[in-house]
Amino acid sequence: MKITYREAMRQALHDALAADPRVFLMGEDVGKYGGSYAVSKGFVEEFGPDRIRDTPLSELGFVGAGIGAAIGGMRPIVEVMTVNFSLLALDQIVNTAALYRHMSGGQFSVPVVIRMATGAGRQLAAQHSHSLESWYASVPGITVLAPATVDDARGMLAPALADPDPVVIFEHALLYNFEGELTDAWRTADIRSAKTLRAGRDLTLIAYGGTVWKALEAAVQLAAEGIEAEVVDLRVLRPLDDAAIMDSVRRTHRALIVDEGWRTGSLAGEIMARIMEQAFYDLDAPVARVCSEEVPIPYAKHLEDAALPQVPKIVAAARTLAGKGAAA
Amino acid sequence: MTTHKPVGLPDDVALKLLTDMVRIRRFEERCADLYGQMKIRGFLHLYIGEEAVAVGAVHALAAGDNIVATYREHGHALARGVSANAVMAEMYGKQEGCSRGRGGSMHIFDAATRLYGGNAIVGGGLPLAVGLALADRMQGSRRVTAVFFGEGAVAEGAFHESMNLAALWHLPVAFFCENNFYAMGTALVRSESQTDLCVKAAAFKVPAVRVDGMDVVAVHEAARVAVEQVRAQGGPCFVEFQTYRYRAHSMFDPDLYRNKDEVEEWKRRGPIHNLTGRLKAEGRLTEERFLEIDAAALREVESAVAFAEAGTWEPVEHLLHDVHTGGAP
C-alpha cells in the first residue's frame, strides 16, 4: 500500500494515543491548527484539547513540562516545530532529560519522546533549514532517531514510547510529502539498528533522514556505470549501529557518508572515526563524506542547492572512492 | 522595641520547626568544616540563615506532594525527611549517598520522599515542576508540586514561561521564591528593573504574597495557606520569602559584594534565634530543652559523618550504569 510519510506518522501517533491513556501530544499548533506539517490534523476533535495540547511559543517551558510530565508518570510526545527552534529548549533536553537518571543515582527515568522537523530544501533560509542532529547525538542519555522511510515513520514511534528514557525523533521536512510502499516491516521496527536498503559490493553509502533518498538515487546512477553501491540507512543516530556499519564496510572496503549536517563536528566525522578505529585494515581507500557546506543555508534556490549534499556530488565522490576517477 | 508576635502553633509543631532548623544549621556548619578538610569537594552552597524557608514550607506540604529544589537544597532534603546519613554520604561522593555519589551537594534526589532534585541550572527546575503538576492533573491526583527557586531565577525565561504555563493550564504548582537578595554576587536591584517580585507573578494572574522568610512561623502559615489554596482550587500560587544567606554564595566566593553591616543586621533577625526567643517568652521552651535539641542535632550530624566515612566508593565498573535504564544500549 502506498502511503505518505506524513500519513505514516499520523497513523503512528493515532495508534499511540488510542492505545495508552498516558500518551499525549503537546506543542505549538498541534491542536486547532492541525500541526504545522498537518501531521495531527483532526486529532484535537478526536482526543480533546487535554491530550492534543496546544502550547504557547515557549519551547524551553513546554519541552521542560513534557520532561516533567514523563517523570510524573505520563508518556508525553512533545512536538517542536523545527530543530532550529529546539535550541531554545536545549537546556531542558540536555541538562534535565539526558542527565536526570544518572545524576539521581538511577532513581528516576524520563520516558519522554520529543519530535522535531529538520533539514533544508524548501527555501526557508538560514533560521529554518539546519540539520543539528549531531548535536543531540553527542549527548549520553538520549536516543536519537531519524526515520527516513514510511515503514520507519509508521513503526519507530511505538518502541520510542516504550523506551523508559528520552528519545528524540528527527523528521526531515522534505519527507512529509514523500510517498512510499508501507510494508509489514513497520510492525517490527526497532530503535537500535541500522538497515541496508540496497545491497552492493563496490562501496557503502551511509546516510540518514533526508539524505537516504539522495544516496539511493545516486546508487541507481552508479549502477548504470557499473559501480554497485550498498546503501545503509542509519535510522538510529545514537547509539550508532557500529556492527551494521562495519559489516558492510568489511565487505565493500570503501565507505562514503552522506550527511546534511555541517562538516565540522558532523555525525559523518564520528562515523569516519569509528570506521578507522574498527575497520581500518579492511579499507581499500580513505573514508569519504559529502556534507553540507559550512555556510548558513541561503534563501536563493541555486545557493541552497549548492549548500546541500546533492546526487551529482554523491555520485562524483563515489566514483572517486571506487577508483573510477572523476570522468563520466 | 518590637512587640511580641505570638507563635500560635501547638508545642509539637513549633518544636519540630525549631528542631529541623537546628539540625540543618548544625549539619551545614559541619559541612563547612568538612569542606576545609577536603572531605567534601566541588561546589558547596550553604543555606545557613535561610533555614526558616525550607523548614516552614516543607512542613506545610503533605507526604505525597512533590518538591523540586535548587542546588542550595540540603535544608529541603533534611526537612523533608531524607536521612542526614544519606545526604552526608552524598556529599562525600559515596555510593550510600542518596544519589549514589553521582550528584554531590547540588544534586540531592530522593524518590521515596518525592524530592526531584537538586537542580543546578538556575530556573531549570521550574518547567520540570510544571510538568510534574501537569502529570498529576492528567492522572486525577490531588498532589501539589512545590518548586523552590531563588530571586535570581526570575530573570530567566524559564520562570516566565513556567508561570504562564501553570496559570494558563491551571496547574497545582506552589512557586516558592527564596529571595535572599543576591544572585551569586549580583544584588536584585542591580539585575531587575522591577524588584517587586509579586508584581511579576501578578502579570500572569498568579496570586502572590510576600512573607518574612526569617520567621519560620510566618513562613509555615503562608505556605500552609498557599498549599491549601493550590490543592483546593487547582491553580498555581506564588510566595516570596524574603531571607538572607549568612555565608558566601559558595565556598569559592570571597563575598566582596556585600556590606558587613548588612550581614550583621540580618543575623540579628536569625530564624533560630527568632523562634527560640518567642517560645521562651511564651514559657514553652527552656534553655535546657533548647540545649537538648542542639545536642541531639550535633549527635545526628556526627553519626552522619561516621556513616559517610564508613561508606564505600561505587566501583568504577559501574560508571556507565544508569546513563540509560538497564545499562547503556
Residue intervals of chain A classified under CATH 3.40.50.970 are 2-188
pLDDT at A325: 59
Q: What are the cell numbers at B288?
A: 535546657
Out of A7, A59, A79, A171, pick the active-site residue: A59
Give A107's contacts in chain B (Cβ within 8 Å).
99, 109-111
Rounded to whole angstroms, the Cα distance separating A4 from B273 reads: 71
Enumerate residue ranges in chain B where pLDDT < 50. 1
Among B109, B135, B328, beta carbon nearest to A68: B135
pLDDT at B251: 86
The arithmetic mean of pLDDT across residues A81-90, rounded, is 96
Residue intervals of chain A classified under CATH 3.40.50.920 are 195-321
DSSP A228-264: -EEEEE--EEES--HHHHHHHHHHHS-EEEEEEEEST
Direct distance between the N- and C-terminal alpha carbons of chain A, in angstroms, rounded to an integer: 37
pLDDT at B329: 56
Put simply, whether A77 touches B (Cβ < 8 Å) is no
Rounded to whole angstroms, the Cα distance separating A77 from A111 reads: 9
Put simply, whether B134 touches A (Cβ < 8 Å) is yes
Domain A2-188 is found in CATH 3.40.50.970: yes
| Nearest-neighbour CA in chain B from A148: distance (Å) | 22
A63 contacts B162? CB cut-off 8 A: no
Judged by phi (left if over 0) then psi (alpha if -120 to 50, else beta), residue B101 lies in left
Tell me the percentage of chain A whose pLDDT exceeds 70: 99
The values of phi and psi at residue A191, to 5°, are -125, 40
pLDDT at A247: 98
**Cα dist. B126→A16, B63, B166 in Å?**
28, 21, 10
Collapsing DSSP to helix, strand or coil, A185 comes out as helix
The values of phi and psi at residue B237, to 5°, are -140, 165
Rounded to whole angstroms, the Cα distance separating B121 from B189 reads: 22
DSSP A212-231: HHHHHHHHHHHHHTT--EEE
Neighbours of A122 (CB within 10 A): 12
pLDDT at B5: 87
Neighbours of B323 (CB within 10 A): 18
Neighbours of A107 (CB within 10 A): 20
- Predicted ipTM beyond 0.90: yes
Identify any residues that bridge with B66 across adjacent strands, giving them in sequence order: B145
The model's pTM: 0.96
Rounded to whole angstroms, the Cα distance separating B92 from B75 reads: 17
| Nearest-neighbour CA in chain B from A53: distance (Å) | 10
Judged by phi (left if over 0) then psi (alpha if -120 to 50, else beta), residue B255 lies in left
Among B118, B127, B323, beta carbon nearest to A141: B323
Tell me the percentage of chain A whose pLDDT exceeds 90: 98
Among A61, A100, A106, beta carbon nearest to B321: A106
pLDDT at B3: 64
B323 contacts A102? CB cut-off 8 A: yes
Give A168's contacts in chain B (Cβ within 8 Å).
none
Q: Is A302 a catalytic residue?
A: no
Q: Which residue of B has its CA nearest to A96?
A: B124
pLDDT at A328: 42
* Residue A126 burial (C-beta neighbours within 10 Å; 0-12, 13-18, 19+): middle
Q: What are the cell numbers at B91?
A: 556529599
Judged by phi (left if over 0) then psi (alpha if -120 to 50, else beta), residue B14 lies in alpha
Second CATH level (architecture) for the domain A195-321:
3-Layer(aba) Sandwich (3.40)
Residues in contact with B27: Cβ distance below 8 Å, sequence separation at least 6, in sequence order: B74, B78, B84, B87, B88, B297, B300, B301, B304
Q: What are the cell numbers at B199?
A: 508584581
pLDDT at A327: 47
A65 contacts B99? CB cut-off 8 A: no
Find the range with the poorest average confidence among A6-10, A234-238, B249-253. Answer: B249-253
Residue A126 has pLDDT above 60, yes or no: yes
Chain B, 185-224: which have a CB under 8 Å from a chain A CB? none
Complete domains list, chain B, with CATH: 11-318 (3.40.50.970)
| Nearest-neighbour CA in chain A from B113: distance (Å) | 12
Q: To probe the interface with B, which of A20, A26, A60 has the most B CB atoms within 10 Å? A: A60
Q: Is A128 a catalytic residue?
A: yes
Per DSSP, helices labelled H in chain B are: 11-36, 51-58, 74-80, 84-92, 125-138, 157-168, 188-191, 197-203, 216-233, 260-267, 271-281, 287-310
Task: Report the amino acid identity of residue B114.
Answer: R
The arithmetic mean of pLDDT across residues A102-110, rounded, is 97
Q: Which of A168, A199, A195 is nearest to A183 (CA)?
A: A195
Rounded to whole angstroms, the Cα distance separating A206 from A236 reads: 12
The arithmetic mean of pLDDT across residues A258-287, rounded, is 98
Q: Are B210 and B242 in contact (CB under 8 A)?
A: yes
Give A75's contacts in chain B (Cβ within 8 Å).
none
Tens digit of pLDDT for each residue in A10-21?
999 999 999 999
